Every structure is written in structure tokens, then in C-alpha cells.
A and B are shown apart, each in its own frame.
Chain A
């Protein structure tokens, strides 16, 4: 409680110190000078499920800025489900905050930028904007399900060409899991990949990506290929992602197991009227093992209603129907009420 209070007091003091007028979702100018700028922002989210569990969604604080025109930096401390309370059993769970992003980037030109440190893996649509305030649904798509490490401790080269239309690219290398300061979904010793995008309007894009990683825990080597698409139509939006993974794993006796996963989703968001949206997402994840008895096919559909009184604040009510065939069969209906705020 003390921590939350001191954080609140810190934010309030920055608000008074800031010369610029504060705007929700744009952070607070701590220092705003020609050669050096520093901004404080963050995000918070919470959800309440039909299983009677209230939990914090991903929440964190970030500090970022620019110096000497070409250098940018960002430091973020965050946590996922840092608190949850089950009303049925009366049990609560707490988890820690951690350093989730910390990087320095140098922009040589629009076509060539370098980044070093810890940052989000620059692949796909969901991974680079996964926080509740930026997503249309609180239920995560299958592509967020451990296809590759979501955070990198390494280096990235990126750039873009053209104006309204053109190509952009990102290529990265992750050095070693020992530099991870966060509970990454996959602990990889080596991880390299790239994404190439064609932008056909300022946000509309199609992209393909490829990556390969070697996991520490499971001693697996995986190769992942994917494609994604984002097409806005006025205030509506169509998005889709596809990922295909081939994994190999050698057990203690030395026998080789292989498996293949693929997952996809397609989502359409329709602006009903001002500040009110309806979303529909369908998706699937399929696994093929070398031992066929453990193959499965998981699919779901999420229907959601989103109210956005401000662009940085969303309240969502969504229902998910999920069905799994093959190994570990299940059929689940779940409803979530959630909110996400970017500040």
C-alpha cells in the first residue's frame, strides 16, 4: 500500500512541476528542452471474469526521452496479474513487478536505426502493443501463446523507406537469457529474427516474419514463420495474424521429437457510433506431435463490446467460446469485464 501511495505522490508532484498541459494517454513532460526531453507515462488494466475472479491486468510505469536529436531511450517497470482475488474461495495471489523494457536507440536516418537493451520482440501486431489499453479484447489471441520469446535482451536494426507507401523492416538478435530481467515466456539462449512490412497507408500494412530460437529449459530448437495484416477502414479495423512453428526436442536418451504448431486469428472491429465499438475475433491453434496421440486443435470466438470515452481509456465486455478437440478436450464459455488505461 505504501508503494502505491508513494507512486501516486510522485505522479502528482510531476503534474505540478510539468510546464505543459497534461493530456490523457500522452504522458507527462518532466523535462522538455531542445537537447533533452523526458516523459513519464504508464498503463494499467483490470479484469473481472465470470469465474468470480478480479485481477489486475498488465500494468506499469515508463520513462522515456530523447537527447542530442538522434538518441532515444525507454525504461519500463511492469507486472502482469500483480494482484488477483478469487471471490469464491477468498484466496488472493500477488506477483512481482520487474524491469520489462530498458533500451537505448540511435537513429542514423529514417532507413537505419539501432537499438540495444531489453525490448519487445518486433514481430507481429499483438506482441508490440499487448497492453490492455491498446487491445480491443482482454482475451489474448493464440499467437500470444509462446510462439517466440516476447521480450529480447539484445540488439535490433530497423528502418523504413517511402512516405505514404513503402517498406519497413526490423532484424534482431537476442544474446542470452541471463540478461533477461523479466519472467519471459520463453527463455532462449539464442534468438534471431526479422520482419519485413509493406505499408500501404499510414497504418495499413502486410508483413511477413521469420525467427529461430534455442530454448534453455526444454532444450528445443524452433523455427517460426508468420504473416500479419492490418487494414483500417475509416474508424473500423481488420487485423489478422498467422504463425507457424516447427520445433525439435532431444530427450535425455537422445531420441528426437518433433512437433508443429500453427495459430491464427482474424479480427474485425466495427465503430457502432461515437466512442462505441463492436469486435469479433475468431482464432485457432493446432498442434501436430510426432506421437499422434497428443495432437490437439483449439479454437475460439470472442465477441466484444468496447466503450472508449477517451482513446486512452477503454471499458470492454466480452464473451469467449472455446473448444478443444483431441488430447485434453474441453468446451468453455467465459465472460470478462475489463478496463484499460494509458496515461
Chain B
């Protein structure tokens, strides 16, 4: 049993991918707590620039890992939070289907914030932190 568990963990870690939380160079947040408040739209501006948080869709495992490791929010609670916000007239963060679409948003929109695989070229972005996802 222990050997099986060891191989499962080894296999899992071999397939884990490093992701970077990045934003356009117009904004330079200092902490992951700030990222959390941007994604919840509790803070909507950074030094006068409007923040545009971007998420991948739930079909991408990185979305779930980003929420649990960076935002530290369970999916059910996240959804209930946005139910209330919808009633208050606030829209959820933008959702894109692919990493490439995420990258395009980050390049084109000042104040945008998202996450990309760390192996991607990130020289046009400001990097805030990292997380692992399969």
C-alpha cells in the first residue's frame, strides 16, 4: 500500500505544473491578499487604474487550484458570494476558455490580472506569485 501511495504521489508531482500569477505592467500589487480583493471586486482600482481580473473556465484544473491555493476560497462559497454580488449589480471576473486567450487579455488590457503556466514567456507582465496545478 505504501509503495502504491509513493508512486501515486511521485506520478502526481511529476505532472504538476508551476503557474504564475501575473498582471499587466500598469499595476504592481505587492501581496496575494491584494489579488484576492481584486478577484472579489472588493478593490476595483490600483493607483487610479481599473482592475480587470480574469479567470479560466472551470474545465481547466488550474482555475480550481488558483481558487483554493491563491484565493483560498471553496467553489461553493465563491459561487454564493457571486450570487449576492449579481443581485447587487456586480459582474463576475471575465472568464476565458484558454491560456492563450488569458495571455491576450493580459497583453491588451491595462489593469488586467490573471495566471499563466510559468514556462510561458512572461517578460511583458509583472509577476506576483506562484502556485502548482496538474
**Contact residues of A with B, CB < 8 Å?**
25-27, 37, 39, 41, 43, 62, 64, 66, 69, 72-74, 107, 109-110, 128-129, 131, 133-134, 160, 163-164, 199, 202-203, 232, 234-235, 271, 311-312, 342
Contacts and interface: CB of A to CB of B under 8 A. Distances in A.
Contact of A69 (B50, B77, B81): B50
A233 to B, nearest CB: 10
Contacts, number: 75
Contacts of A133: 83
Contact of B42 (A25, A202, A232): A202
Contacts of A62: 87, 89
B130 interface: no
B83 A342 contact: yes
Given A25-B82, A163-B31, A234-B74, A131 B37 contact: no
A110 B88 CA distance: 16
Given A74-B89, A133-B83, 11 more contacts: A25-B82, A25-B86, A109-B45, A128-B88, A134-B87, A163-B43, A202-B37, A235-B76, A311-B83, A312-B79, A342-B83
B64 interface: no
Contacts of B80: 311
B74 to A, nearest CB: 6
Nearest to B30: A163
A342 B40 contact: no
4 pairs of A and B residues whose beta carbons are closest in the complex:
A311-B79, A64-B89, A74-B89, A164-B33
B91 A163 contact: no
Contacts of A37: 91
Contacts of A131: 87
A334 B50 CA distance: 50
Contacts of A164: 33, 36-37
Q: In which size bucket is the chain B interface? A: 20 to 34
Given A129-B87, A131-B87, A235 B45 contact: no
B128 interface: no
23 contacts: A25-B86, A26-B86, A27-B86, A39-B91, A74-B89, A107-B45, A109-B45, A110-B42, A129-B84, A134-B84, A163-B34, A163-B37, A202-B37, A202-B40, A203-B77, A203-B81, A235-B74, A235-B77, A271-B76, A311-B83, A312-B83, A342-B83, A342-B87
Given A134-B83, A342-B87, A26 B92 contact: yes
Contacts of A199: 42
Nearest to A122: B88
A72 B41 CA distance: 14
Contacts of A72: 89
A234 B34 CA distance: 21
A43 B76 CA distance: 19
Contacts of B48: 109
B73 interface: yes
B91 A66 contact: yes
Contacts of B88: 128
A110 B91 contact: no
B63 interface: no
B42 to A, nearest CB: 6
